[in-house]
Structure 1
Amino acid sequence: MSDTNKVFIMGRLTRDAQLRTSPNGVETAHFSIANNRSKKNPDGTWGQVVNFIDLTLYGDRAKATAPYLIQGQQVFIEAHLAQKRWEKDGKKFQRLEVEIDDLKFSGRYQKSDFPRELKPEEGEIVTEGNFQPVFEEEC
């Protein structure tokens, strides 16, 4: 039996995606989502627990999707965990990242909310291409 490394998360973006280009030329979109769940408190009442999750999307999909990843937008993410290791000044570091395999837009945003324009003077790249998000009312 093979090992499994799959993550499914639904939540709302806590900030607009930041589009960057890595030193080797790969486009990356970085953003965070808030994921809420109910939990029973010790006194028997129910409360909300909020998890904040950092996510990374790579390649052409990062470039095409970044303008649509705006704060408050609800998304459904299918991803995998990837351990990153590096060394700096002789000290070793490691971090566990959530790398997106598939992303679906959800929730209720107006078409006029999309896309936000990425401004090159802020270090972001203006998106070009034919990516079009699917809105619930079109399904």
Structure 2
Amino acid sequence: MARSLNKVMLLGNLTRDPELRYTPQGTAVCTFGMATNRQWKTESGDTRDEAEFHRIVAWTKLAEICAQLLKKGRRVYVEGRLRTRSWQGTDGVTRYTTEIVITDMMLLDPKGTEVPEAASLEDIPEDLVPPEGVSESKKEDKESDKKSATSKKTKAPNGEDDIPF
């Protein structure tokens, strides 16, 4: 069978706060809405906007992280795959929905933008803090990394943000 690809990359804003639930087996699942838009010019030269609304689903650890960090209005990048599922409505009609099951998420709010109160890094349990830049050898390293991640004006030392090629 020939190989195929099912990959989605979106950059947009949350349209509602994430909703975290758990399956009967205890697996975390988080859903939220995301809006993307495109802009184009018509033949007459007018600028037009078109918005698309997407249903986003995250599972397991990523679901818990999304529930902690994301809030309505936040700018975010997500990566995942399309999934279409069906179910029987109470009226007996089969219904379908297409959603994006994400495997990666990055916050894109500009530097200096305050993190909403409910989503500050201090509120996140230590086991949910992303491992980037976190030293696992010392607890005080974790605390200093959390504080530097939340400071409004953090500057990388000279050369650390340079492109290596």
Cα RMSD of the aligned pairs, angstroms, is 2.8
Judge conservation of contact 1:10–1:76 (CA < 8 Å) in 2. yes
Structure 2 unaligned regions, length at least 5: 133-148, 157-165
Cα offsets for 1:90-120 (capped at 9, x unmatched): 5433322210011111022324x25439xxx
Judge conservation of contact 2:11–2:36 (CA < 8 Å) in 1. yes
1:54 and 2:58 are equivalent in the alignment: no
1:116 and 2:119 are equivalent in the alignment: yes
Task: Report the TM-score when normalising by structure 1.
Answer: 0.76
Structure 1 unaligned regions, length at least 5: 118-125
Residue in 2 aligned with 1:9? 10
Residue in 1 aligned with 2:80? 79
Q: CA deviation at 1:23?
A: 2.9
Cα offsets for 1:66-102 (capped at 9, x unmatched): 1211011111011101121334565433322210011
Judge conservation of contact 2:54–2:99 (CA < 8 Å) in 1. no
Judge conservation of contact 2:87–2:96 (CA < 8 Å) in 1. yes
Identity of aligned residues (%): 25
Where does 1:26-37 land on structure 2 (aligned, <5 Å)? 26-37=27-38
| Structure with more relative contact order (C-alpha pairs < 8 Å, separation 6 or more) | 1
More strand by share: 1
Q: Distance in 2 between matches of 1:82 and 1:110?
A: 33
User: How many residues are treated as equivalent by the alignment?
Assistant: 130
The amino acid of 1:4's aligned partner reads L
Residue in 1 aligned with 2:23? 22
Which of 100, 103, 115 is equivalent to 1:101? 103
The amino acid of 2:128's aligned partner reads F
State the structure with more CA Rg.
2
Q: Distance in 1 between matches of 2:155 and 2:51?
A: 31
More helix by share: 2
Judge conservation of contact 1:78–1:101 (CA < 8 Å) in 2. yes
1:41 and 2:42 are equivalent in the alignment: yes
